[in-house]
C-alpha cells in the first residue's frame, strides 16, 4: 500500500489486543461486486495500474488482516479476475437486490456450518480505502449489544450538508467530551440533526454479527427505508443496534470516470 493511502483513522477507545477476547473470533471480509453501473460500465474490472479495481479492493481488505477475504460477485468475469490475482470469489444470483443480500447468499454457500461469526461488508468500489477503517468498523463489535457497526466522518464542506447524495448519520455522540463513537439513532439524506454541532457523513462500510445480517436480509423493507432509500433504516426499524465510529477520512468511492482517474493517481503516488 502506498504512503498516499495511509490516513490518520481513529479507532474506538479500547481497540486492538485489549479487545481480542471480547471481539467476534472468526470474522470474514466480504466484498459484493456486480458489473452493472450506469455511470461506469464494468466498474469492477476497470484498470488501475494494471490490475482490475476489484483486486485493489481485495488487497486493501487483506491488508486489514482480519482473516478470510471473499468477493461475492454477480458475474463470472469478476470471479475470473479475482481468482487470477490469487483471491477467493463466489458467484451469486445477479438479480439480488442489494449487496447485503449478495454477501449473505455467498456466505451461506461457502460457510453453511456458520463458522464465521461476523461479516465485514466492504463495498467493491473503494480501491484506495485505508485498511484501518475496516478494522475500526469491526472493533465496534467489542460491545456485545452492538448488532452492526459502521463509520462516519465530520462534514467539513458546507455543500455536503444539504447534498442528498451525502447521507447523514445521526448518532448519540458527545463530541464536547471527546467521544468518537456512539449509537446511531437515524440516517437521513437531509441536513440533520438541527442546532449547533457537527454533521456526520455516513460511510457505507458495515460489520455485522452473523445473526444480525441474517435477520436484516430476511426482513421486508421498512417504511422509512423506502422513503429515504437507505436500507440501514430497516435495521433500526427492527430494533437492532447500529454503532458509529467517527474517523478522519471518507474513502474515495469510484462511481464516475473522474473518480477512476483520481484513484489511479492515488495508487500510483
Sequence-distant (6+) residues with CB within 8 A of 41 are 35
pLDDT in the model for residue 84: 98
**Degrees to nearest 5, angle at CA 238 with 234 and 241:** 90
Whether pLDDT at 18 is above 50? no
What pLDDT band is residue 7 in, cutting at 50, 70 and 90?
very low
Asked whether 148 and 241 are in contact (CB, 8 A), the reply is yes
Name 188's bridge partners: 168
Closest by CA to 231, choosing from 241, 239, 220, is 220
Task: Give the single-character DSSP code of 193.
Answer: S
Going from the N-terminus, what domains does the chain have, and what CATH number goes with each?
A: 18-127 (3.90.550.10), 130-250 (3.90.550.10)
Mean pLDDT of 54-82: 98
How does pLDDT run across 91-145, given as a tens digit for each residue? 999 999 999 999 999 999 999 999 999 999 999 999 999 999 999 999 999 999 9
Collapse the DSSP code of 160 into the 3-class scheme (helix H, G, I; strand E, B; otherwise coil) and give the result.
Answer: helix
The residue length of the chain stands at: 269
- Alpha carbons 153 and 155: distance in angstroms, whole number: 6
How does pLDDT run across 201-241, given as a tens digit for each residue? 999 999 999 999 999 999 999 999 999 999 999 999 999 99
Task: Give the single-character DSSP code of 221.
Answer: P
Residue 16, C-alpha cell as written in the block: 486492538
Name 168's bridge partners: 188, 201
Mean pLDDT rounded to a whole number for the chain: 92
Least confident residue range of 9-18, 158-167, 245-254: 9-18
Tell which wins on pLDDT, 2 or 55. Answer: 55
Whether pLDDT at 81 is above 80? yes
pLDDT in the model for residue 268: 87
Closest by CA to 73, choosing from 42, 31, 110, 104, is 31
What pLDDT band is residue 2 in, cutting at 50, 70 and 90?
very low
**Degrees to nearest 5, angle at CA 234 with 188 and 146:** 95
173-177: long-range contacts (C-beta < 8 A, 24 or more apart)?
A: 173/244, 173/246
pLDDT in the model for residue 218: 97
- Alpha carbons 123 and 99: distance in angstroms, whole number: 8
Sequence-distant (6+) residues with CB within 8 A of 171 are 152, 182, 183, 184, 185, 200, 244
What pLDDT band is residue 195 in, cutting at 50, 70 and 90?
very high
pLDDT in the model for residue 36: 84
pLDDT in the model for residue 94: 94
3-state secondary structure 58-86: HHHHHHCCCCEEEEEECCHHHHHHHHHCC
Amino acid at each position: 500500500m502506498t504512503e498516499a493511502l495511509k490516513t490518520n483513522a481513529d479507532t474506538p477507545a479500547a481497540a486492538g489486543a485489549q479487545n481480542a477476547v471480547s471481539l467476534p473470533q472468526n470474522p470474514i471480509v466480504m466484498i459484493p461486486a456486480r458489473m452493472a453501473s450506469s455511470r461506469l460500465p464494468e466498474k469492477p474490472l476497470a484498470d488501475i495500474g494494471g490490475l482490475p479495481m476489484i483486486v485493489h479492493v481485495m488487497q486493501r481488505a487483506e491488508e486489514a488482516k482480519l482473516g478470510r477475504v471473499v468477493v461475492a460477485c454477480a458475474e463470472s468475469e469478476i470471479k475470473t479476475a479475482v481468482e487470477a490475482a490469487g483471491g477467493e470469489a463466489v458467484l451469486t444470483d445477479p438479480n439480488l437486490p442489494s449487496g447485503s443480500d449478495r454477501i449473505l447468499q455467498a456466505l451461506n454457500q461457502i460457510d453453511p456450518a456458520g463458522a464465521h461469526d461476523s461479516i465485514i461488508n466492504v463495498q467493491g468500489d473503494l480501491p484506495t480505502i485505508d485498511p484501518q477503517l475496516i478494522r475500526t468498523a469491526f472493533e465496534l463489535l467489542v460491545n456485545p449489544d452492538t448488532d452492526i457497526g459502521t463509520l462516519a466522518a465530520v462534514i467539513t464542506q458546507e455543500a455536503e450538508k444539504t447534498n442528498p447524495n451525502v447521507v447523514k448519520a445521526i448518532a448519540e455522540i458527545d463530541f464536547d467530551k471527546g467521544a468518537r463513537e456512539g449509537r446511531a439513532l437515524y440516517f437521513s439524506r437531509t441536513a440533520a440533526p438541527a442546532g449547533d454541532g457537527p454533521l456526520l457523513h455516513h460511510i457505507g462500510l458495515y460489520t455485522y454479527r452473523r445473526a444480525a445480517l441474517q435477520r436484516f436480509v430476511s426482513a421486508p423493507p421498512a417504511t422509512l427505508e423506502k422513503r429515504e432509500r437507505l436500507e440501514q433504516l430497516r435495521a433500526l426499524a427492527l430494533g437492532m443496534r447500529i454503532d458509529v465510529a467517527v474517523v478522519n477520512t471518507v474513502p474515495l468511492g469510484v462511481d464516475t470516470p473522474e473518480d477512476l482517474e483520481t484513484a489511479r493517481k492515488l495508487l500510483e503516488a
